[in-house]
Amino acid sequence: MTKHTQPIDGAEVPAFFYGTAWKEEQTQHLTELAIACGFRGIDTANQRRHYDEAAVGRAISAAISKGVVARDDLSPTLHKVPP
């Protein structure tokens, strides 16, 4: 079986991340689909020009509510990008 995580500084993190940039009005739908397909790392940033972080949050919330994934299984990267 393929290992889907790797250790970094003592923590297991996903080996692959789904990138949410430039998805615009499809951000929530595509992020939910990525989670349903097995992505556990979600890359987003608080930079509205390229990312819709609120839509990513809604997608994560929906996936958890539907029982697709537990919050502890996800590794979203949330970082502030300077203007």
Position with higher pLDDT, 48 vs 1: 48
| Among candidate residues 44, 39, 35, 45, the one with its CA nearest the CA of residue 4 | 39
Q: Give alpha helix (H) positions in 1-83.
A: 27-36, 53-65
Which residues, in sequence order, are CB contacts of 73 under 8 Å at separation 6+?
Answer: 40
Which residues, in sequence order, are CB contacts of 2 under 8 Å at separation 6+?
Answer: none
Q: Is residue 59's pLDDT more than 80?
A: yes
Q: Is residue 80's pLDDT more than 70?
A: no
Is this prediction's pTM over 0.85?
no
Tens of pLDDT, residue by residue over 2-52, are: 568 888 898 888 888 898 988 889 999 999 999 999 999 998 876 777 788
